[in-house]
Structure 1
Amino acid sequence: MNNQNNKTAYANHNIEKRFLETAETFHGTFQSFRPFPKASMQTSYETLPESLKEKLIQAGEEKLNYSFPVIRATDYMRFKRDGDRAAFEALYFAKRNALNDLIQAECVEHQGRFLDDILNGIYSICEETAWQLPAHNSYIRDTPQLILPDVTRPVMDLFACETGALLACAAYLLEEEFNAVSPYILTCIEDNLKRRILLPYLTAHFWWMGHDDEPMCNWTVWCTQNVLLTTFLMPWSVEMSSRLSSPVRTFCGNAPLFLPENTSDTVVTLQAILHKAAESCDYFLKDYGNDGCCEEGAQYYRHAGLCLYGAMTVLNTVTDGHFDTLFRWDKVKNIASYILNVHVNDKYYFNFADCSPIAGRAGVREYLFGKATGQEDLCLFAAKDFQAGQGQLVTDEVNGGNLFYRMQTVFHYEELMKQDTSGTLSHRDVYYPSVGLFLVHSDTLDLAVKAGDNADSHNHNDTGSITLYKNGLPVLADIGVETYTRKTFSPRRYEIWTMQSGYHNLPTICGTDQKDGVEYRAENVMTVLTGAEPSISMELAAAYPAAQAIVPDLTYVRRVTLKKSSNTVVLEDHTNAQDVILNFITYEKPVILSDGKLSIGEASASFEGADLLAIETLPITDARLKTAWDHDLYRIRLKGSDAGFRLTIQ
């Protein structure tokens, strides 16, 4: 069956506007968004499991008298000066995580013990000059970042929007407690949310909002979700609530929140926000195939597919179910189930691009997305993984900064922990043509092959690479990505070794590696998913333009087959190039057994049509890579000795 992967074939250039059309047909009254109880509703908190309450209070106690760090101008400037983003982000995320720990503890204990520290945290964040990260401090996509923020023009990046949602959620949870101290706490939060979120959202265009055919990514729904949370969680003042609910959409003398220059006729109303958010969801979905594959990988599914779910949840709730039919759209259902299909075993996922093989435990958000889309297998997977992680409340530093996610977990914790997870989840063989991702399984082997092109979001030059697991452990690995620096998202990205095809399970042809770009792609892709020997084949020559310049009629055909009955993977390459070095990245150190035979952990490998050049150690010293790999990795280098190469792994 011909499955030629072609992004232009799967991109929807006639953009469907299902979300915007749904928003435009809503003429009802906006409903309140109450996703979980406020702290003042103590009966709900008293019924939480005792062990959970103890965890939350203990986490808050560890942050009592926490000194919220002051972020200096020189901290902000460091990214521009030397490319380091980790030092600033450590300060930035630590204070938000600490604030969330304190808020959750106060909600549970409700004795006021944590309140002073919460106020310190809120005012510390409100006093920050800017909420956008230094790495995101620009107004036009892919342009150099400014060394310091312009306080008159807030930048709405991922974490400015996250911060807005955090403060709105804090105000929602502790409104009564704040007002008992001073009415000016909510005034401070409201003023910051108006200036930094609502006003720029409707009076400026940031690239992630979407426009025509411009490619979108996780930013679109991640930011949109958090703008919606900010809008609908915040307990606005009476004056602001009146303005938000106004039907007025054209400029008039007393219209709410127009630009200071009075040059815009767009006003901040719930209706305007609803329409803009809905349209951004359409722009996000235009870049997804109907198969629902996330080209950014399993980790970014948490910020892409799950944030789409978050945005849909707010839209649907505040319109009293008006968006409900969109949860039954096949594209949305396929986006939801993607995470189940790329899961291998326990903590491991098939990874590519900037994704790690250890992409984080599934939990409440995946479970709720499964429920919303009517997919019991996704619910079972999420509950199983949540239990396997022993009900982990915070999966990473970034998600830990989102108070909404944390509270979702708190109020669905018992439901997931009590789920019957004795049912069996079987892996499904699947091919995602929109990205060229081929996933098949046998009793002991799990195989992924990436066709597609080298223009994915968070791209690595990995067209044609394979990943293989045996008994749930990696054999042939995809390294992942190092700690982000200024170089990571710059024209020098492909100077980084982990981005290069030579550090994937791919050939180096005539001394050259693959190039980045949509035209550098797999061609003539053919897949067979049925039967006992699923396979994929493709022509890789187009991914090697420098090699094509040396060998004008270059051909390089790769075929990968999983023989299920014998639990065997066979990789066959055929080329007319005379100079080929085959690279294979392994998790365990290869051991030479004899000529053409190796052992790699629990797997045995044999090869024909090549000679062993070297087995290199790839030191894993980067902090981010160390979270994925508990020891060094290895690279097998084979010198092609014939037009045909064959690798067999059992």
Structure 2
Amino acid sequence: MTVNTVKGYLSKTSGCAVYAGYPDISKRDEWEAFPIELKREIVKRGEEALLEPWSELLVSDFREFFRSGNRVRFEDKYFSRRRKLNSLVMAECVQNKGRFIDAILDGLYLIMEESSWCLPPHNSHVRDGQNDAMPNVARPVIDLFDAESGAEVAFCEYLLRPVFEKISPNISEYVNYRLEERIFVPFLNEHFWWMGNGKEPMCNWTPWCTQNVLICALTRSANYFDEDKRRKFLEKAAASCDYFLDEYGEDGCCNEGAQYYSHAALCLFGCLELMAGVTGEAFAGIYSEKLIKNMANYIVKMHVAGDTYINFADCSAHPGRRGAREFLFGKRTGDDVLAGFAAEDLKSQSMYARLIPDEINLFYHVMQAFAYKEMTEYKGNGDNIRPKDSWFESTGLMVARDNVYTLAAKAGNNADSHNHNDVGSFTIYKDGKPFVIDLGVGTYTEKTFSERRYEIWTMQSKYHNLPTFTDESGAEIMQKPGAEYVARSVKCELGDAPIGKTSGEGSGEVCSLSMDIASAYGDERIGSYHRIVTLNKGEDITVTDKYDGELKAFVSIMTYEKPVSDEHGMRISVGELGCIDLSGGVVTDIEECPINDARLSMAWKHSVYRVVIEIDDAHELSLLIR
């Protein structure tokens, strides 16, 4: 491990208080200070939750994943319990009349009496190991949602402790019993892969699990742990956070994409907030670190328009809205653009959406509610600010913009977390609308995270904006997964206007990414494949490919709007958005790809299309996109 950032700041502190960053239900002045429309909506949501039945979660539901590979049937029942409990707890904290308490206790005990909080596809102590087909009661696995569930019951007990104490001490004792068994003992005494050891790559699991373990430990009553024991949680968490940071370049780019920013950088923020909340100002200095600032601001640089973001790998083009976590991260790092961006996004949402109804983490609901008034009144610099063009050298990603186009092009390698084989691909939005797209990923199944991952069509280079090769037998040669399948001779040039300004028509500014992507295919018959992707600001986008090799080459272009080729196969009209003019190739096929998957259909409401362009014998293809 080369990074010593979090441990370094922790070493400047001593001791460890009990976390009290948000008030429990007894602090009435703070809960009653919410705006009236917020209180009404929270109570309304709680009243609706009272009418919903609690889901029945059976062992056969747990085992469904091992029979069919289907995760959804179990997860729908599992997560609905947690969402309902959140709504009830928030409503009781706002109203404080006791009318939600019985239902809260029903939900709290239902969750605590589950045989395991670990999801079936994560039910192994070994990374990517064989999952146990039954819950492991004797040796719990701390996965993402064991930790999330621990945080939920812990924060529920923290908020309602004054009420629970009047009913019976057994409630808090039972919560602590479950936390001891499923969180505290395994966390302090075992090594789970996501904790880090400097020998294998980390991902969003590291801060996501760590944050939730800290919520569990730091919200226990003052006499539950002594200060030295609380400090052990901090020290182990700090080490894990540094292993996670070791995966990042100084540019702060999340190689898992904008969707996983919410579970990576924002969960790191959660860790830092919790640590700062129990140690003091000396630790809070960590927010001045350049890496932390860049990780925070990454999401702004990936934004296209509305709820649309640049996406690659398993990330969706619609990865979620911004809220209190981004807002507070921006404030802590002194980034008024990020804070304003989050505030404006919140204000653009319906009242229903502002209460993050799909979120299962109770801590986030409280954070959102207590930041709500400030966010709705915030006058920052996040509205209508076009981010600077960006080159993320750590992942090989360029993002460039003008008044019309947002262009992203990716070099890098095929070993990203949640990887798709997409070295050299690009995406284009015109006036905020999808022109040339990246599909994202379908519903997760057993196959998604197995050795058969790249049998899934959305993972394959053929369904990205990339060449596919064929040999004399007709066999297709696509990109392969792994760090050795990489772009070489990578060069990025940015001709950027200052932040907050716009480029004029025909400004002459050029942003380009050039690379040789032949190595991504791992086939010696492909000598070189040099690609240059260029945004000519105020004018158009060009893609120039030069190929040297023995195989026949076909380039795929993925679109959302229906493409139509002219009679010569030299011009592609993409809906009403624009056209792509070809030189050095001809359209040979347009494949309609129906969207039947629930997760994909959240981003793409109808079929998408794959245009196939055969490169001619000169092996030079030019695309003019406008």
1:148 corresponds to 2:134: yes
Q: Which moved more, 1:226-235 or 1:488-497?
A: 226-235
Q: Is the 8 A contact 1:221 1:311 kept in 2?
A: yes
Q: Which deviates the most, 475-484 or 316-325?
A: 316-325
- CA distance change for structure 1 residues 483 and 394 in 2, over 3 Å: closer, same or farther? farther
1:536 corresponds in structure 2 to 513
Aligned partner of 1:263 in structure 2 is none
**1:270 positional shift:** 0.8
Cα displacement (A) at 1:420: 2.5
- Listed one character per residue, the Cα deviations across residues 164-208 of structure 1 (whole Å, up to 9, x for unaligned) are 111111111111111111111111101001111011000011000
Query: Which residue of the other structure, out of 370, 373, 388, is the alignment partner of 1:414?
Result: 373
- Tell me the SS of whatever aligns to 2:449: coil
- For residues 120 and 420 of structure 2, what CA distance do their matches in structure 1 show? 24
**What secondary structure sits across from 1:487 in the alignment?**
helix
Contact 1:609 1:646 in 2 (8 A): yes
Instruction: Give the structure 2 partner of residue 468 of structure 1.
Output: 428
How many angstroms apart in 2 are the aligned matches of 1:328 and 1:198? 31
Contact residue 83 and residue 357 of structure 2 kept, 8 A: no
Structure 1 residue corresponding to 2:594, chosen from 619, 625, 629? 619
2:361 is aligned, of 373, 394, 402, to: 402
Partners of 2:8 and 2:366 lie apart in 1 by 31
Q: Which residue of 2 aligns with 1:265?
A: none
Equivalent position amino acid for 1:621 in 2: N
Contact 1:463 1:522 in 2 (8 A): yes
Relative to the length of structure 2, the TM-score reads 0.94
- CA distance in 2 between counterparts of 1:607 and 1:96 reads 52
1:598 Cα deviation after fit:
1.9
Q: Does 1:597 align with 2:571?
A: yes
Kept in 2, the 8 Å contact 1:166–1:403? The answer is yes
SS class of match (1:530):
coil
Map residues 204-283 of structure 1 onto 2, 5 A cutoff: 204-235=190-221, 238=223, 240-241=224-225, 244-245=226-227, 247=228, 269-283=229-243
Partners of 1:420 and 1:130 lie apart in 2 by 45
Unaligned runs of 5+ in 2: 471-475, 497-508
**Aligned to 1:315, which of 262, 275, 278?**
275
User: Which blocks of at least 5 consecutive residues in structure 1 are unaligned?
Assistant: 1-13, 248-268
- Establish whether residue 167 from structure 1 lines up as the match of residue 141 from structure 2: no
Query: 2:499 aligns to what?
Result: none
| Shift in Å, 1:321 | 2.1
Name the CA distance, whole Å, in 2 between partners of 1:359 and 1:98: 23
Q: How does 1:166-565 map to 2 (within 5 A)?
A: 166-235=152-221, 238=223, 240-241=224-225, 244-245=226-227, 247=228, 269-390=229-350, 392-395=353-356, 397=358, 400-420=359-379, 423-510=383-470, 511-530=476-495, 532-545=509-522, 547-548=523-524, 551=525, 554-565=527-538
**Bigger mean CA deviation after superposition, 352-361 or 638-647:** 638-647
Q: Which structure ranks higher in relative contact order (CA pairs < 8 Å, sequence separation ≥ 6)?
A: 1
Q: Give 3-state SS (helix, strand or coil) of 1:621's partner.
A: coil
Large movers: runs of 4+ above 6 Å: none
Task: Tell me how far 1:67 sits from its aligned partner.
Answer: 3.2
Tell me the SS of whatever aligns to 1:475.
Answer: strand
Q: CA deviation at 1:520?
A: 0.2
**1:23 Cα offset (Å):** 2.5
Q: Please say if residues 356 and 365 of structure 2, whose CA atoms lie closer than 8 Å, have aligned partners that are also in contact.
A: no
Aligned equivalent of 1:99, options 68, 81, 85: 85
Instruction: Please tell me the root mean square deviation across aligned C-alpha atoms, in Å.
Output: 1.4
Q: CA–CA distance in 2 between the matches of 1:292 and 1:396?
A: 29
- For each residue in 1:58-115, what CA deviation from the matched residue of structure 2 results, as whole angstroms up to 9, or x when unmatched? 1111121543223211111111121111000001000000000100111111111100
- Name the SS of the counterpart of 1:160 in structure 2: helix
Q: For residues 231 and 168 of structure 2, what CA distance do their matches in structure 1 show? A: 31
Which of the residues 563, 579, 582 maps onto 1:607?
A: 582
Could you tell me how far 1:34 is from its partner in structure 2?
1.8
How does 1:73-112 map onto structure 2 within 5 Å?
73-112=59-98
Distance apart, 1:396 and its partner CA: 6.3
Cα deviations across residues 537-577 of structure 1 (Å, max 9, x unaligned)?
100110011x42xx1x61110011111131x0000000023
Structure 1 CA distance for aligned equivalents of residues 264 and 23 of structure 2: 26
Go from structure 1 to structure 2 and tell me whether the alpha carbon gap of 1:43 and 1:100 turns closer, same or farther (over 3 Å shift): same
Number of residue pairs matched? 603
**Partners of 2:232 and 2:378 in 1: CA distance:** 40
User: Which of 591, 606, 612 lines up with 1:631 in the alignment?
Assistant: 606
Aligned residue in 1 for 2:506: none
CA distance in 2, matches of 1:276, 1:614: 55
C-alpha distance in 2, partners of 1:322/1:162? 28
Q: Could you list the per-position Cα deviations for residues 509-561 of structure 1 after superposition, in whole angstroms to 9, with x for gaps in the alignment?
A: 2321100000001000011112611111100110011x42xx1x611100111
Counterpart-to-counterpart distance in 2, 1:321 and 1:153: 38
In the alignment, residue 387 of structure 2 is paired with which amino acid? Answer: H
Does 1:647 pair with 2:623? yes
Which one-letter code corresponds to 1:446 in the other structure?
A: T
- Tell me whether 439-448 or 386-395 shows the greater mean CA deviation: 386-395
> One-letter code of the match for 1:591?
V
Corresponding residue for residue 560 of structure 2: 587
State the TM-score, normalized to the length of structure 1. Answer: 0.91
Q: Is the 8 A contact 2:116 2:140 kept in 1?
A: yes
- Are 2:106 and 1:120 aligned? yes
Query: Which of 48, 69, 74 matches 1:62?
Result: 48
Displacement of 1:297: 0.3
Which of 425-434 and 384-393 deviates more?
384-393
Deviations 1:237-273 (A, max 9, x none): x3x23xx32x4xxxxxxxxxxxxxxxxxxxxx11211
Q: Aligned to 2:446, what secondary structure does the other structure show?
A: coil
Residues 18 and 221 of structure 2 are in contact (CA less than 8 Å); yes or no, is this contact kept in structure 1?
no
Matching residue's letter, 1:649: I
> Contact 1:559–1:572 (CA<8 Å) still a contact in 2?
yes
Secondary structure of 2:213's match?
Answer: helix
Out of 563, 569, 575, the residue aligned to residue 541 of structure 2 is 569
Residue 565 of structure 1 aligns to a residue whose secondary structure is coil
Distance in 2 of aligned mates of 1:46 and 1:272? 36
Q: Which amino acid in the other structure matches residue 575 of structure 1? A: Y
Q: Output one character per residue of 1:26-68: Cα deviation in whole Å (capped at 9) or x when no partner.
A: 32x4233222221122222222111111111111111215432
Contact 2:23 2:30 in 1 (8 A): yes
- CA–CA distance in 2 between the matches of 1:588 and 1:37? 50
Matching of residues 45-60 of structure 1 within 5 Å: 45-60=31-46
> 1:26 and 2:2 equivalent?
no
1:406-462 superposed Cα distances (whole Å, 9 cap, x missing partner):
010001111111122675412210100100000001110000001000000000000
Distance across 2 between alignment mates of 1:586 and 1:61: 44
Question: In structure 2, the residue corresponding to 1:174 is in which secondary structure?
Answer: helix
Give the superposition deviation at 1:594: 4.8
The CA deviation at 1:393 is 3.2
Cα distance in 1 for partners of 2:356, 2:434 equals: 22
Provide the secondary structure at the position in 2 that maps to 1:146.
coil
Structure 1 contact 24–275 (Cα < 8 Å) conserved: no
Residue pair 2:324, 2:372 contacting (<8 A) in 1 also: yes
Q: Is the Cα contact below 8 Å between 1:70 and 1:124 reproduced in 2? A: no
Residue 115 of structure 2 is aligned to residue 129 of structure 1? yes
Moved more, 67-76 or 164-173: 67-76
CA distance, structure 1, for counterparts of residue 172 and residue 52 of structure 2: 22
1: CA distance between counterparts of 2:583 and 2:110? 63
CA distance in 2, matches of 1:609, 1:473: 28
Greater alpha carbon shift after TM alignment, 532-541 vs 67-76: 67-76
